[in-house]
């Protein structure tokens, strides 16, 4: 069956829609990636603070045990 102008126009429309969706997904992925990068920095700082707090708690517990014995 020969391809007519309707088939070509439908194919062109589908191609345009596909490319538009692909561009939208690329933009959204870029936004999500930048948000994740921005969130990663505070999480790293929180990890350091928790680690420091754990060390202080360990020292305090050791002092309490020493005082009780």
Average pLDDT over residues 2-14: 87
Tokens of 37: 């990068």
| Per-residue pLDDT reduced to its tens digit, 12-66 | 999 999 999 999 999 999 999 999 988 888 888 898 999 999 999 999 999 999 9
CA atoms in the 13 A half-sphere facing the CB of 53: 6
pTM of the model: 0.52
2 — pLDDT class (breaks 50, 70, 90) = low
Q: Measured between alpha carbons, how far is 20 from 23 in angstroms, rounded to an integer?
A: 5
Tokens of 40: 């990663």
Residue 3's pLDDT is 74
Tokens of 24: 């939208």
């Amino acid at each position: 069956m020969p391809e007519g102008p309707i088939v070509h126009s439908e194919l062109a429309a589908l191609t345009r829609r596909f490319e538009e969706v692909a561009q939208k997904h690329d933009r959204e992925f870029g936004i999500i990636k930048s948000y994740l990068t921005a969130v990663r920095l505070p999480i790293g700082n929180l990890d350091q603070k928790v680690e420091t707090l754990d060390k202080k708690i360990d020292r305090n517990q050791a002092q309490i045990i020493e005082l009780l014995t």
